[in-house]
Structure 1
């Protein structure tokens, strides 16, 4: 049937005469409030879809779409009766999302939006005048407006309020979305328009929960982006560097939901470029330890953590506040080569650590730090000098000797004499020339396995990291990833454990020709870690414990303190395992130390 409405937006969009079409669209934008509410929502939904798929098309921005969105947002915020009438409740979400999409890439669109008066209604949404769903699209749009120098100042008029509101949103969005949506088990009790917008009418409770996690994570990521826009211009640094917020910031993670977002560490790095930021960050042991853990992980943002530590070490006002902690972690990274787009990272780390160290003397008074710096000096300077003069014949002799020591260590391991195995592996590490990277990877990785069985996760992480730092490419030695994942799990660092476990699985299944399957023990680990790294894990814990949070990564207290249960979780994969004869056949086997499980192994390294 033909449409009888002479001002129908959809008919206007089909008008072949471009002048008539533009005039009709412009008139529709001006008279949007007078249109039937069901048709109005259909139009907004259509405009939302166009803005998402064609965000750089200048047609609608040139015809007054931003003024139209301002009018609709003002009406939604000021007239609650109108907002709750029929489907009008969908309008503020669509309107703010349309603004965010059009201002995402084009400064001229952002400028038109600001000139149209879009900032005040977006701020009302940010203040929570409607719900968390509208806060999500408001912070997204404001972040795009703040990205451009030409429109930033218009938002900076409200700087103090915007920064504080955004900090609060970044910190609380997980609890808000969980408590107000995910924790509501009865689907009928959830806000209907929230469900419809989240799932587009497709999927049940599981889909709603999955999308709610994604959206809550986006609220946090977009909040951090908006704060970045202030911090990168040196604005409100003192406010952002609130002690409690910095602690929360160090644990904010883009994670598996928004893996392209640098999340908390991205903002921390920006803060580290400022004197105030470096000072405040260096005063928090919790923040420094979080950065250090990230620096020894396979997370995509590992290099950002290293950047932060280097900036802190190069500032004499913060160097000695962080050196005692950072030196222990960075010592394992002094052989890093390329990481992302950064090259010679190990050299830069070494120089930063040895700034005030010369000829074996240091102004550092802490014995542990001095010991580490001396070891770095011996390793990077003295040993390098000596090995430049070593002949090929001498190098081969050392290779043979190291191989013999490694076999002795392996033998001790299989006999269950783990302490002797550690001693032998250590002997091999000290003797092994730096050029023999493959042999060194094996020695460090095997010693990491021994430390796991001796319930020494810190030493295991250190050795596994040393092996991963000299692997080619960096972080590509599967067994070291698996061992470090277990060690992080023992320490309760679920996020770092999960990232290593996922990377391990990637390498195990990389060769499609072999039809490799994910080891069941890795699947078991993933299942445990996913619960504890779930975006809503903290919110769920607080709700179930009446406000008390828990750092337990999915294990009971008894499991954490029981050596027997701990050992049963460790899966032993030793390099170059002992070849044992079984009847007429010769097979390589890997035995689970402390339990009866056995696993076949196809390769030695």
Structure 2
């Protein structure tokens, strides 16, 4: 507890905050902020830590922003960058981190505060931290602060003079930061890690395992903040920004920037930036030329990923644009046709797929691909023709079709158990042709059974398609558990670890709701994919290949990492 009676300082922040007169307190606080960068006080770190906590608790409070806190924090950052001797004295190494954190927190949701921060010259100072003038830890809070500033128009205008540098840096850091965090922290022996990094990561609580977990989280957050910063610039629609962000190789890299399952589960990662780019003609044009990007979007759209609807939105925007439709439809028609019975977005997907189908149907145009035309024809049959036919069928005819579908399903089951898998596929397919559309449960089972046959035949893409159709029919709130598992296996067979993991985790979650014990085979798959999707897996592989690591270990939360040679 701070005691004003015992304090010997002429200008003490804690004494100021305890002053009973608000006017005096404001006046003294303003003077304190002016003097703080000019004085050398070992208690500055304690003051900044307290200011950070105050900002987190009351980010919309305009009092400190109106008293010059941004100018004070900006000057402290500049002092840390340009005066290394001062930075390494006492605990001053913490000051730039806290100062950038305070700026970013007050700029989070208050446009007026963001404007004041920009006027104080915070952007050039933060940009220096983003350039890595101190370390990746300060890069993270600088990226965070710049994101919050750029999200407000009043502050975004102040970034215009630094646009090229910010965009270039954000792209470079998004591509390389996980490797940097790995090399400079995770792959460093505990005794050689920077002490202030460890203390910032753990707040003095927890050992090496906590450090590793937090470093992973912060590394992913650094990437995420850089992607969000690029999204802010892309959202302005300037061809200059979009042209640079849509650089071919960077678009390819964006597909893999998905963060960690635990550390960044609320962020769309690179997918969010791709979605923003799809709002603009130049973005859609560049994305439509990258087959691997389209295929990745289709895989995410058909998975249990929290952002699968975002992936669907991207593909739909590309299909609706006459300038990109023909380039995209060849890589997406089959996958998107599997999603047309989704309850929330199925009709939107159907309209995007069939917007010019009448011209194809009557021979006025051709897409040049049998597979595409087949997918569109099946969609038309399912969503238009069969609905019309079944609407005019009488009860007896519908009952006959239901009976026939049940008979064919039993025949398919028997064929499967006899090992006649191809025959079973044929019988399940015939059953689906006659089964009334309203019998969702029966159709779910038929699609799921056919998916199992495709798995046995090592036809991963077909298995994903049928399992997806079954899951679209079952709905997101109560997904068909067997179909989740079958699609997880098919994604694994195809080498799509993240999609396999998301389906595997959903499979486990649905089982827990029903008090079903987690099967060993599911636990093995989840563990395998957790390792494969660890954000630093590529960095480990690169370091091992370069001969900079001598062995690979794993820490408790499922990530694998390599120790650097001493």
Instruction: Within 5 Å, give how 1:366-385 maps onto structure 2.
Output: 366-385=369-388
| 1:242 alignment partner, one of 247, 261, 264 | 247
Question: Is residue 525 of structure 1 aligned with residue 528 of structure 2?
Answer: no
Structure 1 match to 2:470: 467
Report the equivalent of 2:297. Answer: 291
CA contact (8 A) 1:353 1:373 kept: no
Partner residue, 2:424: 421
Deviation at 1:324, TM superposition (A): 0.9
Aligned mates of 2:461, 2:363 — CA distance in 1: 27
1:55 aligned counterpart, secondary structure: coil
Does the 8 A contact of 1:254 with 1:260 survive in 2? no
Give the superposed CA RMSD.
1.9
How far apart, CA to CA, are the structure 2 residues paired with 1:247 and 1:166?
16
Contact 1:330–1:349 at 8 Å: present in 2 too?
no
1:314 corresponding residue in structure 2: 320
| CA offsets 1:110-159 (integer angstroms, 9 cap, x no match) | 01111111111111111111111111011111111111111111101111
Q: Which runs of 5+ in 1 are unaligned?
A: 549-553, 555-605
> Helix, strand or coil for the counterpart of 2:493?
helix
Are 1:37 and 1:87, in contact at CA under 8 Å, matched by a contact in 2? no
CA contact (8 A) 1:37 1:88 kept: no
Where do 1:6-405 residues align within 5 Å?
Answer: 6-184=10-188, 186-235=189-238, 236-256=241-261, 257-338=263-344, 344-352=347-355, 354=357, 356-359=359-362, 362-405=365-408
Query: In the alignment, is the contact (CA less than 8 A) between 1:47 and 1:98 conserved in 2?
Result: yes
Change (3 A) 1:356 1:276: farther
SS at match of 1:357: helix
What is the deviation of 1:255?
4.1
Q: 2:150·2:232 contact (CA, 8 Å) conserved in 1?
A: yes
Does the CA contact (< 8 Å) of 2:408 and 2:428 recur in 1?
A: yes
Question: How far apart are 1:349 and its partner, in Å?
Answer: 3.9
Whole-angstrom distance in 2 between the partners of 1:396 and 1:312: 41
For each residue in 1:537-587, what CA deviation from the matched residue of structure 2 results, as whole angstroms up to 9, or x when unmatched? 111111111299xxxxx9xxxxxxxxxxxxxxxxxxxxxxxxxxxxxxxxx
TM-score by length of 2: 0.92
Deviation at 1:375, TM superposition (A): 2.2
Question: How far did residue 218 of structure 1 move?
Answer: 0.7
Contact 2:343–2:475 (CA<8 Å) still a contact in 1?
no
Please give the alpha-carbon distance, in whole angstroms, between the structure 2 residues aligned to 1:434 and 1:359. 26
Cα deviation 1:46-73 (Å, max 9, x = unaligned): 1111111111112211211111101101
More relative contact order, 1 or 2 (CA 8 Å, 6+ apart): 2
Question: Could you tell me how far 1:34 is from its partner in structure 2?
Answer: 4.8
**2: CA distance, partners of 1:217 / 1:359:** 51
- Distance apart, 1:473 and its partner CA: 3.9
State the number of aligned residues.
542
d(CA) in 2 for partners of 1:547, 1:191: 24
Q: Call closer, same or farther: CA 1:362–1:375 in 2, change over 3 Å.
A: farther
Q: Separation in 1 of the partners of 2:410 and 2:356?
A: 35
SS at match of 2:322: coil
Partner Cα separation in structure 2 for residue 370 and residue 351 of structure 1: 10
Deviation at 1:274, TM superposition (A): 1.2
Distance 2:381 2:35 in 1: 77
Partner of 2:344, secondary structure, is: coil
Deviations 1:221-254 (A, max 9, x none): 1111111111111131000000010000122114
Residue 420 of structure 1, CA deviation:
2.3
Structure 1's 371 and 347: CA in aligned 2 closer, same or farther, altered over 3 A? closer
Query: What do the CA deviations read for 1:574-605 (whole angstroms, capped 9, x no partner)?
Result: xxxxxxxxxxxxxxxxxxxxxxxxxxxxxxxx
CA shift, 1:216, in A, is 0.9
Q: Once the 2 structures are TM-superposed, how far is the Cα of residue 384 of structure 1 from its aligned partner?
A: 1.9
Aligned-partner Cα distance in 2 for 1:353–1:419: 35
Distance 2:270 2:547 in 1: 23
Q: In 1, are the aligned partners of 2:463 and 2:487 still within 8 Å (CA)?
A: yes
Q: Shift of the alpha carbon at 1:374?
A: 2.2
Does residue 446 (structure 1) correspond to residue 449 (structure 2)? The answer is: yes
